[in-house]
Structure 1
Amino acid sequence: MPQIPGPLKILPVYAIAAAGGFAFYKLGLPLPWMIGPLVATAALAFSERFEIRIPVQTRPFGQGVVAAQVGLSFSPAVFAQLLQMAPLLVGMALMIIFVGFAIALVLSRMARIPLTSAMIATLPTSPVEAAVVAERYNFPPAPIILSQTMRISTVVVLIPTAIFFIDGELGRTARQMNTAFHIPSLLALAGLSMLGMWLFFKLRISNPYFLGPLALSSIVTAAGVELVPFPSLVLWAAQVVLGTWLGSNFRRSLFTSAGRMVMASVVSTLLFIVASALIAASLSQVVGMSWETLVLASTPGGVTEMALTAKFLGIDVALITAFHLVRIFIVVPSIPHIIDRLHRYENR
């Protein structure tokens, strides 16, 4: 099988991915520059005509660009609004844990795996972090990575598509191209992004390549400094990078080795999305917020991908990002404690 290693030889993969994004853009489909590359690269990887290995080190560029841009939405007024909504933010995060436990029970039964392993595969975190936890408890990491990757990818494809076609008017402004190019402002924003990544990495904070740029960009914005957002071409390039990395994980060998876990992961992921969406839509009637906002806020997807989805659909980016950040700060630190207690219970 031909291999495509090295930074230069993966450029054709990015070209194919970008072509997929352009095709989705021309077709008027939602989130085209992420979903198009994801689908194109997944098809290429699954065919196994070439062994595609997109380094995980490519993700920081995409995450840093998106995070710095999202941080520009955090004005002082937005911060004040988020503080008032703190109980709702925390409540939604706890809801994700309880729904995740119920879905893990389903996955455990369907895939015939221990509940502890199913919980690691279900709770929203990154595939790499989930694999590390799995190895700590001597569970095979490959099925865990598959389940987590399928969750993120399914959310990226399904949620924006569903909301777009139910209420497509939301996303029309997101298709307008931003050509503003104020060099000092762009250099300042890029510098903040790189400084944030470096600082959070050195401090060993989880998800440093997103949270670092987001923190510094939002602090500067909240202080009243106005920076020009990245041009559309830069944001599109970031999405192509993220979509390509996600799609490259869909190798046929991963599916064939997972056995029953494949269908079980598909079913449990869809159940997770549907259950979260139904609860959020019902809650929207009580709290007086739009169902689109709460559905996107409750979706068990990655914060980077959900911030991009909110931007495309014209939904409050800062609010959606805040929901997912609170979820991260509650769920991710809780995972080791939840898994440890569950593992002890199963092995008592």
Structure 2
Amino acid sequence: MSDRPFNTWWGTPLVGLLGGYLASQIGWPLPWMVGSLLAIILVRCLTPWQLAEIPGGRKCGQWIVGIGIGLHFTPVVIEQVMSHFGLIFFGALITSLSAVVGVWLLRRTGEDRATAFFSSMPGGSGEMVNLGARNGAVLSRVAAGQSLRVLVVVLCVPAAFKYLLGDGAAVLHPATVDWRWLAVLFPAGALLAWLWQRLRQPNPWLFGPLLVSAAASISLDLHIGLPDGGSQIGQWLIGSGLGCHFNRQFFRRAPSFMGRTLIGTALSMLIATLAALGLSALTQLDLRSLTLGMMPGGIAEMSLTAETLQLSVPLVTAMQVMRLLFVLFLAEPLFRYWNREPEAA
């Protein structure tokens, strides 16, 4: 019996590695995340082998990625980001409000208010499920809607950016690897992640390491980065973890709900793109970075995409974090205000 859990996940890293390798060979953007994600979904959907998530694997991937993202922050870059704080605030607000489209679509299929609302909010899946539980939502549908949104964004956005918009202008990334600093930052990031988790805060294994490395990079002007392959390992672990949330039953469940969630996600992405076009026309900021920062995806996934395509990682991360804060702090009060009136029979 003790071997059974191992038997369900031992193949996950191997299948993920194979998928990531194949995606990298064909030049797919964000290959180690997208490739591992797709490979595991295909195995779980087309075979009886229900691969399980690697214990702690996704957290470890977020830990690595969080350190890497934070090291992109420098005094010069953070000054630029802060000088455009109003823009970041406005862009995050637009992205958050675009979720109204998804809520409206789901309400038209007869979903109750709580399920439609928390399924459509572009926040973290775990956080939205928790908020939905407190407000009477159907949790399986909230989790499905959130997972499907992230899946669509991860699969579509990197490819669309690379093949339709091209790579961004080269950004000066830290080139050197300082193992002494990394030996300090990784344990410190893990400690803060553990404390963040104990306090029941969102995304602890991403935010904790990110805050530690960003604070060190800004205050000490480090200009260092992860060693070659570090980001790819993080991608592989995150992609492998995401893939384990999908199987044949997931895609067969409530096809109307899934279809409208897809449409709502696509419309939110379109709204984000149009808003980024307008904001870019009013500023000197890169259109690609603005658009990516406003996409309704996960912080780690969008920041990794920015890194891969040589866009402004700090700007994208700042906009994604601001959007998450909007959703976490405003979603429940707004829902309760909306829900004061009884639903129409």
Q: Same fold (TM over 0.5)?
A: yes
Structure 1 contact 200–208 (Cα < 8 Å) conserved: yes
Structure 1 contact 186–227 (Cα < 8 Å) conserved: no
Pick the aligned partner of 1:248 from 225, 241, 244: 244
Pick the aligned partner of 1:151 from 149, 152, 160: 149
Q: State the alpha-carbon separation in 1 of the partners of residues 246 and 15 from structure 2.
A: 16
Q: Percentage identity across aligned positions?
A: 24
Q: 1:1-348 counterparts in 2 under 5 A?
A: 6-7=5-6, 9-54=8-53, 57-109=56-108, 111-170=109-168, 182-226=178-222, 228-347=224-343
Any idea what the Cα deviations from partners look like across 1:120-169, whole Å, max 9, x if unmatched?
Answer: 11111122222222222332211211111111111111111111002334
Structure 1 contact 56–245 (Cα < 8 Å) conserved: no
Q: Which amino acid aligns with 1:101?
A: V
Q: Which amino acid aligns with 1:13?
A: T
Q: State the alpha-carbon separation in 2 of the partners of residues 301 and 27 from structure 1.
A: 24
3-state SS of paired residue (1:51): coil
> Which segment drifts farther, 228-237 or 74-83?
228-237
Q: State the alpha-carbon separation in 2 of the partners of residues 55 and 132 from structure 1.
A: 23
Q: State the alpha-carbon separation in 2 of the partners of residues 43 and 320 from structure 1.
A: 30
Quote the offset at 1:55 in angstroms. Answer: 5.5
The gaps in structure 1 that reach 5 residues or longer are none
Structure 1 contact 68–192 (Cα < 8 Å) conserved: no
Q: Which amino acid aligns with 2:286?
A: S
Structure 1 segments of 4 or more deviating over 4 A? 171-174
Structure 2 contact 89–322 (Cα < 8 Å) conserved: yes
Any idea what the Cα deviations from partners look like across 1:177-223, whole Å, max 9, x if unmatched?
Answer: x8x76432331231232122123223433221111111111111111
Go from structure 1 to structure 2 and tell me whether the alpha carbon gap of 1:173 and 1:289 turns closer, same or farther (over 3 Å shift): closer
3-state SS of paired residue (2:339): helix
Q: State the alpha-carbon separation in 1 of the partners of residues 293 and 244 from structure 2.
A: 27
What TM-score do you get using the length of structure 1 for normalisation? 0.90
Structure 2 contact 22–35 (Cα < 8 Å) conserved: yes
What TM-score do you get using the length of structure 2 for normalisation? 0.91
3-state SS of paired residue (1:66): helix
Q: State the alpha-carbon separation in 2 of the partners of residues 285 and 182 from structure 1.
A: 39
3-state SS of paired residue (1:125): coil
Quote the offset at 1:264 in angstroms. Answer: 1.3
Q: State the alpha-carbon separation in 1 of the partners of residues 194 and 237 from structure 2.
A: 20
Q: Which amino acid aligns with 1:46?
A: C
Q: State the alpha-carbon separation in 1 of the partners of residues 275 and 177 from structure 2.
A: 42
The gaps in structure 2 that reach 5 residues or longer are none
Question: Which is richer in helix?
Answer: 1
Q: Which amino acid aligns with 2:96?
A: I
Any idea what the Cα deviations from partners look like across 1:89-136, whole Å, max 9, x if unmatched?
Answer: 111121122211133112321x32123321111111122222222222
3-state SS of paired residue (2:229): helix
Q: State the alpha-carbon separation in 1 of the partners of residues 333 and 262 from structure 2.
A: 26
Q: Which amino acid aligns with 2:115?
A: S
Any idea what the Cα deviations from partners look like across 1:236-295, whole Å, max 9, x if unmatched?
Answer: 121111111111111222232334212111111111111211221232112232221111
Quote the offset at 1:38 in angstroms. Answer: 0.8
Quote the offset at 1:7 in angstroms. Answer: 4.3
Structure 2 contact 292–306 (Cα < 8 Å) conserved: yes
Structure 2 contact 153–296 (Cα < 8 Å) conserved: yes
> Which segment drifts farther, 4-13 or 44-53?
4-13
Go from structure 1 to structure 2 and tell me whether the alpha carbon gap of 1:297 and 1:346 turns closer, same or farther (over 3 Å shift): farther
Q: Which amino acid aligns with 1:271?
A: L
